[in-house]
Chains A and B, each alone.
Chain A
Amino acid sequence: MNLDTLDQAFEALKTYDWGADGSALQPLDEAVVATRADAAARQALEKRLAETLTTGISRDAKDVVCRLLMVIGTAASVPALASLLADAELAHMARYALERIPAPEAAAAMRAALPQLSGLLRVGVIGSLGVRRDVESVPALAALLDDPDPAVACAAAVALGAIRTPDAAAALAGSSVSHAEVRRATTDASLACAESLLAGGQRAEALAIYRRFAGEDQPKHVKLAATRGILACAGQSQ
């Protein structure tokens, strides 16, 4: 890794914006690969990248930094990334990194941000917690199933359907939504939980879910899914 060119790339980052020459930042990509076997150098690179997020560099430059932290970010980058979760322009790219950083601190930061956010920004964080299958967020997500914002309630249902634990299934079973979109999301998430429970040998719990969706009041394809699930619970061919 050539430190001079890396310095030049960090310098270029200060004025980087849409339309700028992307090759000026190439040394940053190269440094990601070059530091793979050098923990100290990787740590220094990460620290330097995370620090740029608190400076006045452009949205485009922060976009680039978040993409790099998606690859090399650790718990050390989480505070800088989490500070962007309430920024409408940068929240997505913050999650772009946080969603993929395996450190539990990344999920914890998003859980902590959840009550502070509203609207789309809250929806985004809910989605990322779901993708991470973050079981610790189940109580918070369960509480959001009845949120007056249908987008938030839908997002919570989808996230619980991604997490698929018995607790997630129970939360979905306890919701009583009337909004059509939320109901569809809750139905799909419940069916996903049932599949997971059945695969894990919890037939009775899966069967209880399937029975809820097998009635004549359900759309044809939902009733079909539930009926197939009931047959699967009984060990019969689908």
Chain B
Amino acid sequence: MGSHLRPTRRQFLQTAGAAVAVPYVITSSALGQNGVPPASDRIVMGGIGIGNMGNGDQDAFLSRPDVQYVAVCDVRAGVREAAKGKVDKRYNNTDCQAYNDFRELLSRPDIDAVHVATPDHWHAIMVIEACRQGKDVYCQKPETRTLREGPLMVEAARRYARVVSGGSQRVLDDYRGIVDKCWGGVLGAIKSINVNVGPLSQPCNLPAEPVPPDMDWDMWLGPAPWAPYNSKRCDGNYGTSGNSWRSYVDYSGGGMTDWGAHHFGGATFAVDVREQQPEEVIYHEHQGQPYLSFRYPDGLLIHHNRPHSENLAVEVLPGEERPAKPVPSYKGTGGIYGDFLECVKTRERPFRDIELAVNTVMISHLGIIAYTLQRSLKWDASKQEFPDDAEANRFLDRARREPWQL
């Protein structure tokens, strides 16, 4: 269907219903009772990448009475069929459609919002395409794989006024103690905060194994360099030591981005620099061990793996006060998922708005580049580049395998 002919969701449902069959029985679920919105008022959702984290995200959205879950997409047939089965069981029908290619799911005009939980090298392409198709998006963390991707994702969200939420629930849920102390003014003015996280991802040279018959390997690789299938290369487990895609540079920044999205997210939230980006990365060595300090425009420092420093340990500026401010929180009910859905309805920006998420993950990317080059870096947030630093600017992005582009 041409996009200029796009009907409203209600029109689509009416048309689709007429084309398929006239139901003999209109269920109470369809009409909406007992606090459940009628089907036409629910947020119509689909999920892309339904493996480990995607499975959990699907459960969360599927359990919501204000969601009508209609489509799943995964490059593993077994995974997507299982995900479809879960949806069909929930609604007691066989309506959920299963796709191998995310573009088919995104082209459906009846879908309002999608959640994305593929490996990281796919996130930007899918989020941006979803925005171009008029969808709201909940994207798992870490939201980006390169520095260039972040501003393009924010731009797409803003261009089409889409609600795009990042996916770290820990930013608010796990670090509440230090967040409350900082925002409550109990600690006074903050000088620095430390984040302990790692490791960095590594190159992968695993040998070829037979591609499982139910897997579209080329689609799994997508924009990443071609490589032969190996089960450890693409396993979705949460490890970063060689047995999962989170271990390898083509798909992930390793623990530095995977847990970094949580820890740096908590740190930037606690010290209230979520809306900023650092202007310098300072490379240190202590007894042969490198560590970093990210310096923000007002002088505040976020250290990374500072020796003898606990995760989220805060240094204060003696004698300087910080006025108490109310701590931002989720909207709606149901944690970060409920926050996203509430914002889909109200068109507000979610707690983990994509711009804030990008500002977090870019810290990890800056850090990876500093560790790789083994030196300090300046960063120009307005130009999104390393000023007068051609060597570092090479790391802003990486060429995508055809036909994928940003």
Contacts and interface: CB of A to CB of B under 8 A. Distances in A.
Contacts of A220: 6, 8, 134
B206 A158 contact: no
Contacts of A219: 3-4, 6, 134
B288 interface: no
B287 interface: no
A102 B225 contact: no
Contacts, number: 120
Interface in B7-46: 8
A199 B245 CA distance: 40
A20 B373 CA distance: 26
Contacts of A184: 3, 132-133
B397 interface: yes
B205 A20 contact: yes
Given A127-B400, A127-B405, A60 B134 contact: no
B399 to A, nearest CB: 4
A102 B205 contact: no
B400 A71 contact: no
A203 interface: no
Contacts of B390: 102
B319 interface: no
Contact of B403 (A20, A124, A192, A217): A124
A174 interface: no
A131 B406 contact: yes
Interface of B is mostly: loop
Nearest to A93: B225
B161 A18 contact: no
Interface residues of B, number: 43
Contact of A120 (B161, B227, B403): B403
A22 to B, nearest CB: 5
B405 A18 contact: no
Contact of A228 (B4, B8, B156, B161): B161
B159 A225 contact: yes
Contacts of B181: none
Contacts of B155: 192, 195
A25 to B, nearest CB: 9
B399 A102 contact: no
Nearest to A227: B161
A120 B205 CA distance: 25
B394 interface: yes
Interface string A3-42: 0000000000000001110100000000001001000000
Contact of A96 (B2, B203, B395, B398): B398
B161 A224 contact: yes
Contact of B228 (A18, A20, A131, A225): A18
Interface string A83-107: 0000001011101101111100000
Contacts of A120: 402-403
A46 interface: no
B397 A100 contact: yes
B350 to A, nearest CB: 18
B226 A100 contact: no
Nearest to A97: B399
A95 B132 CA distance: 26
Nearest to A126: B405
B160 interface: yes
A50 interface: no
A61 to B, nearest CB: 10
A103 to B, nearest CB: 10
Contacts of B398: 70, 96, 99-100
Contacts of A188: 132, 156, 159
Nearest to A183: B3
A128 B399 contact: yes
A191 to B, nearest CB: 6
Given A91-B402, A188-B159, 13 more contacts: A22-B205, A36-B391, A92-B225, A92-B226, A92-B402, A124-B399, A126-B405, A127-B400, A131-B399, A131-B406, A155-B405, A192-B155, A225-B160
Interface of B: 1-4, 6, 8, 131-134, 148, 155-156, 159-162, 203, 205-208, 225-228, 373-374, 390-391, 393-395, 397-406
- Minimum-distance CB pairs A-B, first 8: A19-B207, A124-B402, A127-B405, A221-B134, A99-B399, A95-B399, A100-B394, A221-B160
